[in-house]
Structure 1
Amino acid sequence: MSDVHLSRRAMGVLLAAAAAAPRAAEAQPAEGWATTWAASAQGPYPIGNPSAQPNQSFAFPSAPDGAKDQSLRLIIRPTVWGRQARLRFSNAFGTKPLTLDGVHVGLQHGGAAVMPGTNQAVRFGGAGAVTIPPGRDAWSDAVALPFAAEPASPLLAGRKLAVSLHVAGESGPMTWHAKALQTSYATPPGAGARGAEEAEAAFPHPTASWFFLDAVDMMMPAGTPAVVCFGDSITDGTASTMNGDDRWPDVLQRRLHAAFPNRVAVVNAGIGGNQVAGPAEYAPDRPFAGGPASLQRLERDVASLSGVSSFVWLEGINDFSRNGNASVEAVTGGMRRGVAMLRERLPGVRVLGATVVTALGSSSAAHGFAEQDEKRRALNDFIRNGGVFDAVVEFDQAVLDTSTGQLKPEFVPESTTGGPGDKLHPNRAGYVAMASAIDPALLLPALARR
């Protein structure tokens, strides 16, 4: 009788749950993907502008061969958290098919170690491996993140993910983002698939760059906005603190999180050395340290991301350097075309123009001369008064020493290695001042009104 009683009781519970299921489903808010992190693919390793890069010859002895039967553990910081994630891997600048397997994602414990019990296997179309043709990318399947069962928990804010992957065979030229300003890790060549391991011993070699991984999405409440910060090294974070997450987009994200916890993603789409108008052509066999020109990468690095609602464009100083020598008209024309393309691809997107900060007096051989500054000021006049942007972010005023026309002295000494600075890239204090100059209501007027 006891067994019968328990069976009937269990059946009653199941029937009650079944009856409630439709109501529970109806009560669940709609969800969708929002990009929580990205790193714009800029070229084949080692072409680029890394900062504080350790010696890479032990991890990658041959750039043409790339990674060889080895694992990478890439450390990234999500800007919003969900219960599920998906990852995008890029072979944009590869010259041969790239096969990845043994992909895992877990919470970083410290260094290359993963927090015990958090490492989750990642699959692709139900399979444990994916082969990505040259010039293409691939999204993973959704992967559950049990450690993010409460995504809005303040204990998750600022935590980092360890994304591990194994390059099966030989990758050839590696698609990378040079200036991560974040330490990630690699096994020696030939070490095989080690991503399932939680310990760090298999990953002895540090790198200050990200390879192959170029975007991560989180499953979020529908309509979760993603703000894309687009530009060159000043957005990428040159002269900010290594592993400090204090680029101006990072500081902006923390400001938004304080106001709207776990409700706004902020994505960094900066590339050190990037230009609006150049280079005219870009290919794996014709690389450029600053990556493809803006208009050549807007689709991949902005429009193809999930949930993009706002876009902040800070760029132009490299166009006017001795490496660019572009006219003001070439840059303003490029910006007009870029904004038009984004509005066509992302109806309703809010586009903000950021005034370009001074490089006058820079110690960089390519920057700091009077003609560059004249062009910069003309571009800023266009950004403020050209009628192209929905709003303007006044970065120039935030960091300018009006008595000299240069960066304020306290924003010059660089924060990455403690060097003297180059009067081109603001330091950590400068990036804080820049992010503090952004009115959240300009980025997210609907959210700010709530």
Structure 2
Amino acid sequence: MRGLFAAMVLAMGLSLPAGAQPAMSWATSWAASVQGPYPVGNPSAQPDQRFAFPDPARGARDQTLRLVLRPSLWGKEVRLRFSNAFGTRPLALDGVHIGLQLGGAAVVPGSNQPVRFAGREAVTIPPGGSAWSDPVALPFVPEGTAGTLAGRKLAVSLHVAGESGPMTWHAKALQTSYVSPPGSGAIGNEEGEGGFPFSTASWFFLDALDVMAPAGTPVVVAFGDSITDGTASTMNGDDRWPDVFGRRLFARFGNRVAVVNAGIGGNQVAGPAEYGPDKPFPGGPAAGQRLERDVLSLSGVTSFVWLEGINDFSRNGDASVEAVQAAMREVAGRLRARLPGIRLVGATVTSALGAGGGTGAHGFAEQDAKRRALNDFIRRGGVFDAVIDFDAATLDPATGGLRPEMVPDSTTGGPGDRLHPNRAGYLAMGMAVDPEAVVPGLR
């Protein structure tokens, strides 16, 4: 009861009695929904990976990966989750460290901390499994003012002992991370960047970061496809729509809300029917197949914002509106059953009309009719507690497609594909989210 009282007091924006300490619990601050095995996926702005990973079947080999990530919520104590979900052999990790990124592959001197697993420096994760680290204290996080680190990034280093085999990954990080050469050994304790000549625009093996936070801290999961994952946003710019919304929450409420991105480029609501290392699909597992790992097993989830469906109607998916609606109802039912009180927010699907110039998987009038029918269901189907109208925020009424200023690709500087909004589009989407719809009552 004492912890519940503290959480209620904090949620109401009130102060605890003098000398009282709020109950604390884990809250997921960052996540990367996994897929694979590498190289099956849809990365953006990916450097040539053949020098870092010469043979995908052998995977990483006695080398260290330094993965860069930006927490949405800061705390003095963290833990990490590593995944071998789509591996076919045991994954042996050691020499894991976490520090504050200085720039590139360098970490701030004195910030790099060792990470252990049940008190040991190494862990072996079976195929299909995952493992949480022990809690790690971060001495560089200011006492009582963790929010001053907002926008800074962590560098998580991990050594793959031996060969990993097929690698579980998140293809579209839109964040540069770093890799040492095969056979270079465990160098995660090094603060400098000299040992990490290769870069990658993907995350491997690491799929969640928790921070210790006051009990009841809101954790918002943005769930969806490439338009949540951030295709055509700015590489290393952190300007996907969930990033924009997260910064708005920080500006208003400070270091009190986490916004976690659970998008996968190419993901679908209703398909594929099967997924695994022997049956990979670039878009990752269907929404219902990945719900346990990517939402339900995260810590402290209070709100779920779902933007998805456009890929179901592509020529690759070719699903009926009814099939997508049924899958959405099923996922919503599972969420409410497992997380009573969760806030479910539906987001209308943005237009892809005209994408591909009539030769690709998207862009046709019959697909747009399905999209508009799904949006009617999202708005009026009674599945969601609230609705965010991303369609209205990005639609050009004159053409029925994306607004022209939202088309040019801001990641590579190309012409854009008329499917993915660019930075201007994601900014409009992030600004269109009503905080009260997602985290009602927070003050």
TM-score by length of 2: 0.95
Residue number in structure 2 paired with 1:408:
403
Structure 2 residue 317 is matched with structure 1 residue 324: yes
Determine the C-alpha separation between the residues in 2 that align with 1:187 and 1:276: 37
Query: Which residue of 223, 226, 232 maps to 2:225?
Result: 232
Task: Give the residue type in structure 1 aligned to 2:279.
Answer: R
Preserved contact between residue 274 and residue 291 of structure 1 (Cα < 8 Å): yes
Alpha-carbon distance, 1:27 to partner:
2.1
Q: Which residue of 2 aligns with 1:215?
A: 208
Tell me if structure 2 keeps the 8 A contact 1:275–1:316.
yes
State the distance in 1 between where 2:91 and 2:256 align: 35
1:419 to 414, 419, 432: 414
Deviation at 1:77, TM superposition (A): 0.0
Distance across 2 between alignment mates of 1:41 and 1:280? 17
Shift of 1:153: 4.5
In 2, distance between residues paired with 1:105 and 1:114?
A: 9
Offset, 1:403: 1.0
Match of 1:258 in 2: 251
Task: After superposition, give the CA deviation of every residue in 1:287-337 in whole Å (9 maximum; x if it has no partner).
Answer: 000000000001110011011000000000000000000000000000000
Distance 1:283 1:184 in 2: 26
Give the match for residue 204 of structure 1: 197
Alpha-carbon offset, residue 28 of structure 1: 1.8
Code of the aligned partner of 2:237: G
Task: Sort the Cα spacing of 1:174 and 1:151 in 2 relative to 1 into closer, same or farther, 3 A.
Answer: farther
1:229-251, Cα deviation, whole Å (9 max, x unpaired): 00000000000000000000000
Q: Against the structure 1 CA distance between its residues 154 and 219, is the aligned structure 2 distance closer, same or farther, given a 3 Å change threshold?
A: closer
Normalised by the size of structure 1, how large is the TM-score?
A: 0.93
Mapped partners of 1:338, 1:81: distance in 2: 30
Separation (CA, whole Å) in 2 of partners of 1:25 and 1:286: 58
Contact 2:187–2:195 (CA under 8 A) maintained in structure 1: yes
CA positional deviation for 1:149: 2.9
CA contact (8 A) 2:23 2:214 kept: yes
Give the aligned residue type for 2:259: V
2:266 corresponds to 1:286:
no
Assess if the C-alpha contact under 8 Å between 2:250 and 2:257 holds in 1.
yes
| Distance in 1 (alpha carbons) for counterparts of 2:177 and 2:93 | 18
Cα separation, 1, equivalents of 2:60 and 2:271: 30
Bigger mean CA deviation after superposition, 360-369 or 240-249: 360-369
SS of structure 1 residue aligned to 2:326:
helix
* Partner Cα distance (1:63, 1:150) in 2: 43
Could you say which structure has the larger radius of gyration? 1
Displacement of 1:151 in angstroms is: 5.5
Structure 2 residue aligned with 1:16: none
Please report how far the alpha carbon of residue 102 of structure 1 lies from its aligned counterpart in structure 2 after TM superposition: 0.3
Q: Deviations over 1:400-438 (max 9, x none)?
A: 001110100000001101000000000001000001111
Amino acid at match of 2:242: P
Give distance in 2, aligned partners of 1:411 and 1:282: 33
Alignment of 1:351 onto 2:344: yes
Counterparts of 1:68-87 in structure 2 under 5 Å? 68-87=61-80
CA separation in 1, counterparts of 2:283 and 2:145? 37
Please give the alpha-carbon distance, in whole angstroms, between the structure 1 residues aligned to 2:142 and 2:95.
24
SS at match of 1:191: coil
1:408 aligned partner, one-letter code: R
* Alpha-carbon shift at residue 177 of structure 1 (Å): 0.2
Structure 1: any 5+ residue segments left out of the alignment?
Answer: 1-23
Alignment match, 1:3: none
Amino acid at match of 1:357: T
Give the letter aligned to residue 288 of structure 2: L
* 1:21-40 equivalences in 2 (<5 Å): 27-40=20-33
Between the aligned partners of 1:269 and 1:134, the Cα distance in structure 2 is 22
**Residue pairs, 1:41-56, within 5 angstroms:** 41-56=34-49
Alpha-carbon RMSD: 1.2
Partner-residue secondary structure (3-state), 1:44: coil
Kindly indicate whether the alpha-carbon contact (under 8 Å) linking 2:74 and 2:147 is maintained by their aligned counterparts in 1. no
Identify the residue that residue 9 of structure 1 maps to in structure 2: none
For the residues of structure 2 that align with 1:32 and 1:446, how far apart are their CA atoms? 20
Residue among 427, 432, 443 paired with 2:438 = 443
C-alpha distance in 2 between matches for 1:27 and 1:387: 42
For residue 433 of structure 1, what is the aligned residue in structure 2?
428
> Is 1:59 aligned to 2:52, yes or no?
yes
The equivalent of 1:10 in structure 2 is none
Matched, 1:149 2:142: yes
Sort the Cα spacing of 1:153 and 1:219 in 2 relative to 1 into closer, same or farther, 3 A: closer
Tell me, in whole angstroms, the C-alpha distance in 1 between the residues paired with 2:322 and 2:19. Answer: 54
- Cα distance in structure 2, aligned partners of 1:183 and 1:321: 30
Structure 1 position 446, deviation (Å): 1.9
Which of 227, 236, 253 matches 1:243?
236
- Secondary structure, aligned partner of 1:401: coil
Q: Structure 1, residues 21-65: CA drift from partner, whole Å, max 9, x if none? A: xxx997221100000000000110000000000000000000000
Shift of 1:152: 3.2
Unaligned runs of 5+ in 2: 1-16
2:332 is aligned to 339
Number of corresponding residues: 425
CA–CA distance in structure 1, aligned partners of residues 114 and 354 of structure 2: 51
Deviation (angstroms), 1:283: 1.0
Matches within 5 A, 1:120-199: 120-150=113-143, 152-199=145-192
Q: Aligned pair in 2 of structure 1 residues 206, 75: CA closer, same or farther (>3 Å)?
A: same
Post-superposition Cα deviations, 1:231-273, rounded to whole Å, max 9, x if no partner, equal 0000000000000000000001000000110000000000000
- The Cα shift of 1:154 comes to 4.8
Q: 2:10 aligns to what?
A: none
Q: Which residue of 2 aligns with 1:8?
A: none
Aligned partners of 1:82 and 1:68: how far apart in 2?
33
